[in-house]
A and B are shown apart, each in its own frame.
Chain A
Amino acid sequence: MMIWVGVLVGCVGCYLLKLAGVSVPESVLQRPRVHRVSALLPIVLLAALVAVQTFSTGSALVLDARAAGLAVAGVAVWRRAPFLVVVGLAALTTALVRLAFPGT
């Protein structure tokens, strides 16, 4: 039930942002500060998400097979591999490390 609340709040919020772009007076969104924040937001959020989802389980910091998967993903991104290859290699690597070292 709570998941639905999150889903709907997120959907409404994201839609209102899209609508705001084509509705609010230009002066609001053309402020340099607003530009700066919206350029930085994806960088900081994505970097934080990568770190948290690789090195934590719940509220515990862990170093497990995901780290190996992410390292391989990093090399793939650096080699400009397509998106699906990056994601696929990360999953494959993680699965293989878990197979070799159960419990990671």
Chain B
Amino acid sequence: MGSDPAWRLTRSAVLRDAAGVAIATGAYAISFGAIARAGGFDAWQTMALSLLMFTGGSQFGLVGVVAAGGAPLAGAATAIMLGARNALYGLRLTELLQLRGWRRFAAAQLIIDESTAMSIGRDSRRAARLGFYATGLGVFALWNLGTLVGVVGAAWLSDPRALGLDAAAPAAFLALLAPRLRGREAWAIAAVAALVAVVAVPFVPIGFPVLIAALVGIGAGFLPGHPGPDATGVDEVVLELDPPGEDERR
């Protein structure tokens, strides 16, 4: 099996994809490390997030809320909600990866946008499994290395505001949001959420406007007249991935 020439071609293609995604994501992690340090997280906390949370959108979410002065638990709630999609990815991956025993606990940590995208849609279960592990482990290694570089680099910065780093986080969120804004309904719900959040800012504790906006936005998504629950099925969720870098966005 190992010397099957067709498989060797597939394997090198899968590994090349995995390497490209891992490198792009590692570069993105540098900005995470720098933004977290500028936001008041110490080096250990920043590294703990990349090692233990290991899901980029959630990490940026937690750091963003706390950096703005919000309660850390409100940041944690934001992070957990942003991580909810990983549960759906897991559902799709269970069948492909055939996880048993302790492997399930280890593999679960590698479930992120990138490893899922590089796994589902492969021609064979074997290629799907290779795509998942190669991408998951590669991104894990470079994501943490990138974070470390960002953490060390940020230590040299005396005034993050002078460098405009406080605008880096919302710009990062915008870049993550953009690929998900397909269709009028997504735009409308995003606009409602943004408006509710801004209006709530003066009236509720820091960190809560985002949570309130999320509830209102979700509620708006269930108003009569939406295109039906099937309109945003899991396939769409899986396809609307966080852009780890230029490779996936093109």
Q: Which residues of A contact B (CB under 8 A)?
A: 2-11, 13-15, 17-24, 26, 29-30, 32-61, 65-66, 69-70, 73-74, 77-78, 80, 82-84, 86-87, 89-96, 98
Contacts and interface: CB of A to CB of B under 8 A. Distances in A.
12 contacts: A10-B80, A14-B80, A17-B86, A22-B107, A32-B230, A35-B229, A38-B237, A48-B209, A58-B206, A82-B245, A84-B245, A95-B162
**Secondary structure of the A contact surface, majority rule:** helix
Given A48-B197, A83-B249, A91 B167 contact: yes
A73 B57 CA distance: 18
A50 B170 contact: yes
A7 B50 CA distance: 10
Please classify how large the interface on chain B is, using the bins under 10, 10 to 19, 20 to 34, 35 or more.
Answer: 35 or more
Contact of B79 (A13, A33, A65, A98): A13
A66 B160 CA distance: 13
B194 A48 contact: yes
B90 interface: yes
A18 to B, nearest CB: 4
Nearest to A28: B91
Interface centre among A4, A11, A30 (most CB of B within 10 A): A11
A96 B24 CA distance: 27
A15 B76 CA distance: 12
A47 B158 CA distance: 30
Contacts of B94: 21-22
Given A48-B193, A74-B174, A91 B165 contact: yes
Contacts of B166: 53, 66, 94
Contact of B164 (A18, A69, A78, A83): A69
B104 A22 contact: yes
Nearest to A25: B91
A89 B75 CA distance: 26
A44 B66 CA distance: 19
B170 A18 contact: no
